[in-house]
Amino acid sequence: QLETLEQEEQECLELTPHPTEKTTHIVSHEHGMTVLETLQEGEAEPQCQSFSYSRAKLQGVLLEGASLLLLRVLARRQTMPLDLVFPAINSEGHLCSSSY
């Protein structure tokens, strides 16, 4: 029973003259989960997007941190169930499927 309460990701690309930084903040709350993405390109105004998902849509969702933990557990047990598929959130903040 894995549950992600909060997750923060930061990506930085140092390209001259316009470095780009992308942050993704995912927070679980009583109604579901909210994903906030911020993209900062050089000196331009940051661009923000927000996505919210209900608990019903997130049933069984596996975020990146939990996915890494699950992979370690499976590797330690030296077993991999067939057709292991979880709902996930992709790099754009949208729901997708993740299979192993």
- Cβ burial, residue 89 (10 Å; 0-12/13-18/19+): buried
Q: What is the pLDDT of residue 73?
A: 86
Q: What is the pLDDT of residue 46?
A: 94
Average pLDDT, the chain: 85
Q: What is the pLDDT of residue 57?
A: 83
The C-alpha atoms of residue 86 and residue 67 are separated, in whole angstroms, by 9
**Share of residues in the chain with pLDDT > 70 (%):** 98
**Residue linked to tokens 């067939």:** 82
Q: pTM higher than 0.75 for the full model?
A: no
The C-alpha atoms of residue 61 and residue 2 are separated, in whole angstroms, by 9
Q: What is the pLDDT of residue 12?
A: 92
Helix, strand, or coil (residue 42) = coil
For residues 83, 6, 49, 88, the Cα torsion angle rounded to the nearest 10 degrees is: 0
pLDDT (mean) for 77-100: 80
Helix, strand, or coil (residue 64) = helix
Is residue 2 predicted with pLDDT exceeding 70? no
pLDDT (mean) for 74-98: 81
The conformation of residue 47, written as its DSSP 8-state character, comes to: E
